[in-house]
Amino acid sequence: MFNGMRAWEICFIVSSNCDDEALLWMLQNVNVPLQRYTDACWAVRYQGVNAFGETVQGPLFYVPGRTHMNWAESVLKQGGVCGSLSTFGATAARAHGIPAYTCGQPGHCAYAVRHARGKWMGGFGGPDGAPHFSPWGGNYAYILALEDAFANDAKADRAKRHLWQASVASPVERARVALSLATSATPSFITAWKSRIELLGKDPSMNQATWEKLYTEMAQSFGKNNKPLTEALAGFEDKLIEKMDADAKLAFALRVQADIGNGVENWSWEMDDELFARHAKWFSEDDKMRFYVQSLCLQIKSRHFFGKLSDWGVKNLGKTADGIPRFTKALAEVVRIKASTLGKEALKDLTKQAILAAEQARSQEAFDASTDAAKDIAGDHGAARADLTSSGKLVSDRGMLWLSTTSGWDQPWSHKKVIDGSGGTFHTENEKSPSVTVQLRETVELSSVVVEKTLGNEYRLKRAKIEVSTDGATWFEVAQTDNCPDAWKVELIDKAPKARWVRLTADNPDGGYLHLRSFLIRAK
């Protein structure tokens, strides 16, 4: 492979910082077919502590072999964790003239090996992530853009010649022509695009229309390479939108979101913080919500981008007293608009965000809207194991609930079923005093409360108490048990305490989870 490579390809081989002795050892001792270098890392034993008890996170792990072994041999003999294994695998490929790189991922190091032009294959979890070597940028998106830009040798050479011409051309008009030819010759020649944007930024004749025309050209040229496109856009978007009104800004920002959706789904690109937050600053609070709802609708089929936008909304729009109800209504609106067109998993992701946000905001309207849209995915949690009838009229079915904490096992789309009599589920984190609270539509005189445990986990709920409140702040205990039955019926018809909120709290001195199939409140 090596003899037929261009300079930009060879960079992925000679970028290794391994010394010659280790490279020669790799060449002689790690010989596998091209397609197997993504498995070369597994020649190394995965372990975090060596034979002398030294951790791989410390400076002494590889000291025992330092005097009589090269780096690669030492790693093979003594093992390591993801960083050592991935570096070993990538270096083994490079030693044989095969392009490779290591890359960072959250809490992990992976690597990638190039089997052919445009074909990077992952080792130990790659190829996506933040490459530790890349000529254009520290993200896998730039590896893909590089492959696209230089896929055709003749076009790549022509583009580079035009870029060189632009650097010496006089007058400026000739440089503009040369850069235009360079970006026309290749689909995503980032260096040429940045030079062209910088030169055009000095031209007083450029206006909103010409900048918008440039963006159109860029979007067509970059194609699926959405991250490089939006980063290049940052070089002139302020000039493009400076004379736009709010509606025009919204239309343009949504146009960019649509272009993103047509590109590569890249989990390692933090699009929400790097692009959405940038554009959200253009708008007032109301227009920002319009932008948010419509962006969610555009990205709804992308698990990566939709998830990032959802998280961004929780962290940024749903934190203030004014923002929380608007944010929850925004998510509920997206659920209402898109529920019929979503797949089951995508709808689960969306409704989880929407329902939890509604519960956090104590927004009955948003809770009802989001739950109704998710009714087809709530599932059947089995028949009740006991007669759950009790005195009074069921009133919890028109209310909502929330938990003290929410775990990864929680199913928010089934929360409504817990309180409407059909049987659902919820799941808190491990706590000493996990609780579930039901908010009713109005203050009522209680006649009974029924608690039904989740099948298979009955042992987890022993000691528990039920409290009521009319203001959400002051609580009065109405029942307690030291050994909660599978179906705990609490008759209150004689006491008829007034309540708008009803809370069940488990007492777990050593910690524990809380999950129920039913939590039913009835009134006189």
Nearest to 363 by CA among 395, 336, 317, 324: 324
Shared-domain flag, residues 102 and 171 = no
Please classify residue 363 by burial: count the beta carbons closer than 10 Å to its beta carbon, then call 0-12 exposed, 13-18 middle and 19+ buried.
buried
Shared-domain flag, residues 102 and 161 = no
> 384 in a domain, yes or no?
no
Tell me how far apart the alpha carbons of residues 390 and 489 are, in angstroms, rounded to a whole number: 7
Count CB-CB contacts under 10 A for residue 27: 14
Shared-domain flag, residues 455 and 501 = yes
Q: At what angle do helices 208-222 and 226-233 cross, to 10 degrees?
A: 160
For residue 458, the cross-strand partners are: none
Confidence of residue 320 (pLDDT cuts 50, 70, 90): low
Q: What is residue 505's three-state secondary structure?
A: strand
Q: Which amino acid is at 315?
A: K
Confidence of residue 275 (pLDDT cuts 50, 70, 90): very high
Nearest to 373 by CA among 395, 340, 403: 340
Shared-domain flag, residues 348 and 277 = yes
**CA 34 to chain CA centroid, nearest Å:** 33
Lowest-pLDDT range, 11-20, 49-58, 187-196, 300-309? 300-309
pLDDT of residue 323: 67
b (16+ CB within 10 A) / e for 79-105 = bbbbbbbbbbbbbbbbbbebbbbbbbb
pLDDT of residue 1: 78
**CA 388 to chain CA centroid, nearest Å:** 41
- Condensed to tens digits (0 to 9), the pLDDT of residues 355-410 reads 887 787 687 877 887 787 777 777 788 878 788 889 999 999 999 999 999 998 99
Shared-domain flag, residues 519 and 400 = yes
Indicate the number of domains in the chain.
Answer: 4
pLDDT of residue 277: 95
Is 417 a residue whose pLDDT tops 80? yes
Confidence of residue 318 (pLDDT cuts 50, 70, 90): low
Structural domain harbouring 61:
2-133
Tell me how far apart the alpha carbons of residues 196 and 192 are, in angstroms, rounded to a whole number: 6
For residue 439, the cross-strand partners are: 400, 501
- Condensed to tens digits (0 to 9), the pLDDT of residues 429-478 reads 999 999 999 999 999 999 999 999 988 778 889 999 999 999 888 899 99
pLDDT of residue 371: 83
Tell me how far apart the alpha carbons of residues 502 and 485 are, in angstroms, rounded to a whole number: 19
Pairing of strands 435-453, 498-506: antiparallel
Tell me how far apart the alpha carbons of residues 416 and 398 are, in angstroms, rounded to a whole number: 9
- Condensed to tens digits (0 to 9), the pLDDT of residues 480-517 reads 999 999 999 999 999 999 999 999 999 988 889 999 99
> 141 in a domain, yes or no?
no
Shared-domain flag, residues 7 and 125 = yes
Distant-in-sequence, close-in-space partners of 367: CB < 8 Å, separation ≥ 6: 355, 358, 359, 400, 416
> 453 in a domain, yes or no?
yes
Among 70, 105, 133, identify where a domain stops: 133
Shared-domain flag, residues 24 and 77 = yes
> 434 in a domain, yes or no?
yes
| Locus of tokens 């849209």 | 373
Average pLDDT of the segment spanning 99-124: 93
- pTM strictly above 0.75: no
Among 70, 103, 133, identify where a domain stops: 133
Percentage of the chain beyond pLDDT 90 is: 65
Residue 407 has which token pair? 């775990």
Shared-domain flag, residues 371 and 402 = no
* DSSP symbols for 14-35: HT----HHHHHHHHHH----GG
Among 377, 402, 417, identify where a domain stops: 377
What angle is formed at CA 474 by the lines to CA 468 and CA 479, rounded to 5 degrees? Answer: 30
| Locus of tokens 């020669």 | 24
> 348 in a domain, yes or no?
yes
Q: Is the peptide bond before 171 cis (omega within 30 degrees of 0)?
A: yes
Shared-domain flag, residues 337 and 425 = no
Residue 360 has which token pair? 């956090």
Confidence of residue 118 (pLDDT cuts 50, 70, 90): very high
- Condensed to tens digits (0 to 9), the pLDDT of residues 241-263 reads 999 999 999 999 999 999 999 99
Shared-domain flag, residues 8 and 115 = yes
> 145 in a domain, yes or no?
no
Shared-domain flag, residues 310 and 401 = no
Shared-domain flag, residues 172 and 284 = no
| Locus of tokens 């870029």 | 163
> 511 in a domain, yes or no?
yes
> 143 in a domain, yes or no?
no
* CATH code for the domain of 33: 3.10.620
The total number of residues shown for the chain amounts to 524
* CATH code for the domain of 459: 2.60.120.260
